[in-house]
Amino acid sequence: MSLPEDVRRLPGLVTEGDEAVFAEPWQAQAFAMTVKLHEKGLFTWAEWAAALSAEIAAAGPDDPAENYYMRWLAALEKITQEKGALSETERLERRDAWDRAAKATPHGSPIELGAETRS
């Protein structure tokens, strides 16, 4: 019944330690947006679970646990698009706008959209 040691010691099954709820702030943001969009009725929780499961399944069994919120984010991008909350073009343009704004912002200052046109 017991498996060989190398199979049993699969990475990711860290059984001890009370980890922080979120490893990085963006994970918390992605989590909270999902809950709020569900509350708003953009999707049912079953639809969300299906979207997240699909991302997790596509990543395969060797996907490290640390990537969990990456899968979450990809699922959120897809479901907001499928449900018509925003389009892929809008999302990619906005990503680029934040990139330009960040690069135009002096280190230590808050990053604001349009910062590159303001100086």
Partner 1 sequence: MAHDHDHDHHHHDGDHSELSETALRVKALESLLVEKGYVDPAALDELIETYETRVGPRNGAQVVAKAWTDAAFMEKLRSDATNAIADMGFIGRQGEHMVAVENTEDTHNMVVCTLCSCYPWPVLGLPPVWYKAPPYRSRAVSDPRGVLAEFGVQLPENVGVKVWDSTAEIRYLVIPQRPQGTEGWSADKLATLVTRNSMIGTGLALTPDQVAS
Contacting residue, 29, 89, 118, 119, with partner 1 by CB under 8 A: 29
Contacts of 8 (CB under 8 A, 6+ apart): 2
Contacting residue, 6, 89, 109, 117, with partner 1 by CB under 8 A: 109
Least CB distance to partner 1 at residue 108 (A): 8
Instruction: Look up residue 81 and give its amino acid.
Output: Q
Residues between 44 and 83 with contacts to partner 1, criterion CB under 8 A: 45-46, 48-50, 52-53, 56-57, 60-66, 68, 70, 73, 76-77, 80
The site that binds partner 1 (CB under 8 A) totals a number of residues, namely: 74
The DSSP code sequence of 25-49 is HHHHHHHHHHHHHHHHTSS-HHHHH
Contact status: 43 vs partner 1 (CB under 8 A): no
* Residue at token pair 């479901």: 79
Least CB distance to partner 1 at residue 79 (A): 11
Contact status: 84 vs partner 1 (CB under 8 A): no
Contacts of 47 (CB under 8 A, 6+ apart): 79
Contacts of 25 (CB under 8 A, 6+ apart): none
